[in-house]
Every structure is written in C-alpha cells, then in structure tokens.
Amino acid sequence: MSLKLAIGGKGGVGKTTITSLIARCIANINNNKVIAIDADPVANLAAGLGIDENIPITPIAELSDLIAERTGAKPGTMGGFFTLNPKVDDIPERFSLEKDGVKLLVMGTVQKGGSGCICPESTILKALMNHLVLARNEIVVMDMEAGIEHLGRATSGAVDALIAVVNPGKRSRVAAEKIRNLGKDIGIKKIVVLGNRIKSDNDKNLIKKSLPDFEILGFFPEIDEISEADKNGVRPFDDISLMPEQIKHIVKKLLDLSV
C-alpha cells in the first residue's frame, strides 16, 4: 500500500500530535508498516510515538561519516565535487527507530548558505525524501515544519495529501491560506484542513465558516490527556484502543486515498 501524507500548519497547532496519532493508528490497522518522518528542525516526534527518550537518535543531516561516504564529500563543503544522487535506499532501515510498526526517521537541518545551497547534507536529505516519497511503495507520514520547506518540487507531486492543521480562531484562515499557497506552489494536488483542539460545535462552525472553500478532513477535540502526556514526555493513549473515535474516522478517510 502506498500513501504519502504531509502534515503542516502554523507553529504549535498540533502537527506533531496529529502526525503521531495518524502514524500509530495506521500501523495498528492490518499491521501496516509506516514510516514517520520528523522534518522539523526541533525534532520531537519520538515522544509522541512512544520511543524511549534514552535512545539517542542522530538526525540524518548530522551523520557526517555516512554523508561523506555516500556523497564523496565532507559535510560542510560547498562547491567542489560530490555526487548528486547518492545511494540512500538502505538509510530508512539502518537509521530509523521502530515502535509498534512505526519507523521514525529524523531528518535534521542543513545550515543554509544562501538560497539554492547545494551541499552534501542537503543532497542526502533531498535524495532520501525523493526515495521515500517516489520510490517506496509504503505509507509515509511527514511532520513538517511550519513552512513545509523540506518538500521539494520533485517529491511534492507524489504527496497524496497535505493536511493543514488549524486551531479554531480568527487566524486559522490566514494560516490555512498560507499553507495552501505554499502547497500549490510546489505542486501538491490535494490540500485538506484538519481542525484541532475543538471544544464545541461553535469551534467547528468557526472553522467551516472561515474556510468555506477548503475541504475539511475532520475535527479533533481538545483532550487533556494529550497536553498532560506532552508535559510528561510520554505518548498519549498508550493503549491504542483508547484513541478517540475521531482519529479513526480521519484515518479511514486518509486510507481511501491510498493506492
């Protein structure tokens, strides 16, 4: 089964929470294998997936030896000669951590040296994203930083849906518009809205009214257990059967997009 999902939205709206719930929920159905990608410079998807915080995870962008071996150039080099299509197909298996059928890959960041920087680190990340999204017949769920910058033109056409997470409020329209424009710019075909931290029907209506021209994927309630778990650095709904119905409903809709 192939399904490629990107989760975006303004800072703090619940991207990481929603990504981890969706990834865990899909992996729980028919023992699906899921790859969760943490593409946020401040990586914190591991806790949401229930991965032991004592296990160190080195972001791919910081694996200097690997980058040097695969590109033929030391990280930090600019210009010079290195291959633009390094071997990356073994990286997901070798450098991910798995929990309950979800493999976590942490991308890390590249120190940008001006626009259009081509360096060994960015080359590896780009090749890896291309590989995950284009070459693999798998389920990939990506927790994007607010700007969805990690998605290049090459990969974004193969993304089945960009889920823009919004919270109820006046600014949700601005946030959703922004992400829709970004998504369209890089060629993502389907952009849907997920209302998170919903406390009432009024909240739902607010989102529907302010985003009449958006497809709404679903609404997810405000739940104390989620913020409490986050404070304690553990995952909410450790027992997956206790996950709220809404997430199962959302996942069902998403699985309908898969091929």
Give dist(CA 5, CA 22) in Å, integer.
10
Window of 12-20, 73-81, 94-102, 247-255 that interacts with Mg ion by CB under 5 A: 12-20
Q: Which does 222 bind (CB under 5 to 8 A by kind): ligand ATP, Mg ion, none?
A: ligand ATP
User: What is the pattern of x (binds ligand ATP, CB under 6 A) and - over residues 171-200?
Assistant: -------------------------xx---
Q: How many residues does the chain have?
A: 259
11 sits near ligand ATP (criterion: CB under 6 A) = yes
Give dist(CA 66, CA 91) in Å, integer.
9
Smallest distance, ligand ATP to C-beta of residue 16, A = 3
16 sits near Mg ion (criterion: CB under 5 A) = yes
Contact 113, 77 (CB under 8 A): no
Q: Which does 227 bind (CB under 5 to 8 A by kind): ligand ATP, Mg ion, none?
A: ligand ATP
Token pair listed for 171: 């600014």
Smallest distance, ligand ATP to C-beta of residue 135, A = 27
147, amino acid identity: G
Q: What H or E segment, with its residue span, contains residue 118?
A: none
Q: Which does 147 bind (CB under 5 to 8 A by kind): Mg ion, ligand ATP, none?
A: none
95 sits near ligand ATP (criterion: CB under 6 A) = no
CA quadruple 55, 56, 58, 63: dihedral sign: negative
Token pair 């690997």 is found at: 66
**Contacting positions for Mg ion (CB under 5 A):** 15-16
